[in-house]
Each structure stands twice: as structure tokens, then as C-alpha cells.
Structure 1
Amino acid sequence: MNWSDLLSLTAGELIAPTTAAYALAAIGLNIHFGFTGLLNMGQAGFMLVGAYGFAATAQAGQGFPLSALVGVACSVVFALILGIPTLKLRGDYLAIVTISAAEIVRLIGRSSVLSDITNGAAGIPASRFNKDFLGLSVLPDGRTALGPFSYANNVGDGWWTRIVAWAAVLLAVLLVWRLMSSPWGRVLKGIREDEDAVRSLGKSVYGYKMQALVLGGAMAGFAGILFVMPASVQPDAMGRSMTFFIWTILLLGGAATLWGPVIGSMIFFVALMFIKTVMRDVLPSVLRPEQLEPLAGILVGITLMLLVIFRPQGIFGDKKELMLDVR
């Protein structure tokens, strides 16, 4: 086993666009669950809707700003359609509805019904929608090395995408910090603790939940755009597994914390890359290559179970603040 290559691969996950996309989606889920108490199990659906809205608009020849705005708007509309009839539900019932909605989006995306827009199960390759985004780069063409990290500047998985992705994460963290320090954020936390008490004070619990769902969904929509930028819009890559990965990241870093989703995403993907790389070197005589990915998924599931049982507040979370009563 080449430990130098192993460390280089795992360290690269710290600043990867995928890591940033998951961190941004986890920040949105943190608004839903950590601060408001909404048990949303369909965050991948918001990401997929945002990615499709962006890719379809970019394919039509529109620039990145407008395409990204359309993608985020699609996620907002999805949040409204989902939230209007369901936000009076609590706990398990809301979880069932949200995961079902995400699956509906995925199945529509991979079907032939809208194949002119979604390209069906084959997905939309990045070359059809990321040219304008890469054209906005202020970096020179070529390759840049910073310490152990060396990437091309202006490709889908290059420095420009990384800079934009992590800038979006930092802006989201700043926005959450300001909002949760405001009276609006304190109302959300009150809803998480006891929505009947908040309602008795004359606050519209339904309205605040809707606002939280829309804000977290919009962040997930932009996260979906970042996620597909290096590769493609592939519906099967943004299904149930993605939602559970986001939940693992949130619970690992700590729900209802500011930096928990970001640190959780970094730790998660570094650990996942380490495990996959080691398994490829150690287990090829036992398992075939196509069996290693499901095994990694099994390990993620076990990790999520252990987190919920033994450390529900995560690394940085406060157990007193975490909403676990989902009646």
C-alpha cells in the first residue's frame, strides 16, 4: 500500500467540490432539523430539483447567474409544493412524506416522460451546462499546486469550482449565524422545543416552518448545482443514499451548531475515501470491485446508527439543544 498516495487522496477530499456541496446541503438540513425540528428525509430531492433547473436553463443558452437563480427557484417552488400540504404533520409522518417526494423526483428524472429535459436515466453530462460557469473564472488557464494539492484551474473539478463552492459554504454559515442570532432564529428554536407554546404567543408556527423549509431547500438547490458541476446530473446519484449521507454528516458534526455540518462533511469524506482506498488494496482477493461500494455504504449506515445511539449531539453539538422528541 502506497501511504503517500493514500494520504494525498484523502487530504484532497477536504477541499473537494463534492465535500463543499454536501456541507452546504447539510447546512440547509440543519435549518430544517437542527434549528426548527423538521424531520426532512428528502434533502436529496431539493438538490436534484435545483440541479435539473440549472442544467436545463444552461442548456438553453442562458448564463450561469440566471441558470443558478432558476435552479434555486425550482428548489423553492418544490419546497412550497411540498410544504403547503404537509407542514402540519409531525415527526415520522413528515419524514415519510419528504422521502417519498424525493423518490418521486428521482423516478421522474430517470423516466422517459421528460427525457427531452432530463435525458432520462443517462443524465445530463457537465459539458452541456458548465461552460459558462468555467468561463467566468478569473484564474489563468493551466494547473496550480498549493502544497499537496495540485489541480487544473478551469475544469469542472478544478480550483475555480472549489473556490466558488467553498465561498458559498462560508456565505451560508455567515447567513445562518446572523439569522439564528436574530428574533426570527429564536422563534425557530422555540418551535423546535415546543411549537404549542410558540403558537400560544401568537406566532404563526406554520409560516415560520415554511420559511425554514424554503431557506434550507434553497441552500440544498444550490448545493445540487455545485455537486453536478464536475460530472453530470445523474438522478440515481442523488437518491436515498445521498440523503442518508447528509444526515450522517449533520449528526457527525452536530445538529444545531454553526460549523458542525462543515466539519462533519470534511471528516466524513476523508474517512470514506480512506476506507474505500484501503479496501481496494486489502480486500480485492475477497470482494470484487463492484462490491466495495455497497460495503462502504454499509459502514456509513453502521456509523449513523452508532451516532444516533451513543453520540446524538455529534462532535460539537449540545445534547440539551438537540431536538430528539419527534412526536
Structure 2
Amino acid sequence: MMKTVIYFFISSLKIMKNGNTTSDFILLGLFNHTGTHLFLFAMVLTIAFASLVGNALMILLIHQDARLHTPMYFLLSQLSLMDMMLVSTIVPKMATNYLTGKMSISPAECGLQIFFLLTLGGGECFLLAAMSYDRYVAVCHPLRYPALMSWQLCLRMTVGSWVLGAVDGLMQAAATLSFPFCDAHEINHFFCEAPTLVGLACADTFVFEYVMYVCCVLMLLVPFSLILISYSLILAAVLQMHSREARKKPFATCSSHLSVVGLFYGAAIFTYMQPKSYRSAHHDKVVSVFYTIFTPVLNPLIYSLRNSEVKGALRKCMGQCSALSQG
């Protein structure tokens, strides 16, 4: 199946290159060349850089500290990796277009942006569901944790998240690029997003939009439902604990996870499940900035500031760096 989808994707790129849609797309971007927008652009670049540094630091701490070599933190390192790749997929092209004034993007680049965006977004959906299951087992079945959340299962869930996201990304990118596009190749966005690009198609896209909606239900609502079930069971178990100290750590950890889930799923559901008649280019761009740039920088902050083990690993790392610099 994967080979078929890849072949379809490559064929779609060839069609766009050789057909009557050879011209590049024009990304209208997010900012104008005014003083205020220049300040906002600099702020977005700063946030993107902070996201890359924060997530890279999270991966480094998890790799270096033996106390963090657990399934929970391995899943968290994968989340940080996905966030780093997501920012790297969107921000460099947006910044280059704004600074050079060249707003064009080739069909191949556009298809790759759609593929990586959906791969990483879909993968993150399933990864957050895996993280919620990990927390459910840790809180509700702590004595059986090594059996119910083994490293083998953890790796399977991680690989499954990447593969399912990649399949969705390949299918939607290939299908989107297979449409003929009208003479106006202007995309009122700062990157190629499937729903926005479909709006430029000079063909009946009803079937594709229906299939895309079904994919979004599967990729968003199914994992989201599993997350809600997991945390409902966790909440019931925590409320039955008599010790206030015993409740403190599960509440801190799970509230961090729920913050990430709420931020990510809220923006993704708004973007991909909103009816076409209610879509607004301005709102789409604002929400897209939120889940492609702002949410990735919040994830390491949420997990580090509210997690004593991560803060301990950071202090240990800083101590080692200080000792090396003095030596």
C-alpha cells in the first residue's frame, strides 16, 4: 500500500510539472512590510528559534540522564522531535519568502510541505494517545507497569504513530496535487496547507473533501476519544487516593499532558474539521501560526516547568557543564 501511495504522489508531481499547471504557486504570506509586521515577524522567528532550542534540549536531557530512560520520556522525546521537524518544515520557507520578497513555491515543495505537515500532525495525534495510555497504566496499574507498558509496546506505538502519519500525509498530498488548478495560483497563506490548496482546484473536489473529512475524524477524533477515556479513568483513580501527596504528582504530570492535548487538538480540529462555508483565510492563518509555531515552543516549557524529574536532569546537566568550563 505504501509503495502505491508513493507512486501516486510522484505521478501527481509529474502531472503538475508537465501539464497546464506548470507555474509555481504564490504564497501571499503572513506579514506585510510595515514596522508593526516586521516586529511580529522578528517575534515569530524568536519563538521558532526558542522552540528548536527547547525541544533539542529536551531530547538531550532525556538521552543523557539515565533516570529519564523510561517509556514516558521516550515518547516525550519523540514529541519533541516531531515539533522540531514541524517548525523546520514551515518557518524557513516563510522567512526566506518574506526577507527576499520572492513569494513563489514550486508544486514539489508545496507537496512536500503538505506531506510533512500531515505526517507530523497525524503522528503527534497518535503519539499523544500513546502518552495518555502510558499515564493511565502508571497511575491506575503501577505494579503492572513493566508488563503493560513494556519497551516493545512503546516502540511499536512510536513506529505506528510515524507510519500512520506518513500514510495520511502521502495520500492527502498526492490527492491534492492531482487536481488541475486555476490560473490564479495565489495561496492566501504562509505555507501550503491541503484545505487551502483544494480551494484553488478547477474541478469538483466534493469526494476528496469528504474523504479528507473522514481521515480527519480518524486521525483526530479517534485518538482524542482514547485520550479522554484514559484521563477520565486516571481522574477517577486519583480522586480515590486518600493521601494529598499521593495525588500531587499524578495531577501535575497529567495536567501537563492535558495542556498539550488541549492546545494541539483544539487548533487542529478548528483547521481540518471546520465546514468550508465557515472558513476564513485570516482565521486559518492565525490558527495555523498557533499550532505550527506557538504550540511546539510551549511543549518543552509545560513539561519542564511542571516536572521535577526534568528539572532535576536540567540542573544536573548545567552542573556538569559548569564543572567542565571551570576545569
TM-score, structure 1 normalization? 0.31
Which structure's relative contact order is higher, taking Cα pairs within 8 Å and 6+ residues apart? 1
**Which structure: greater helix fraction?**
2
TM-score, structure 2 normalization? 0.31
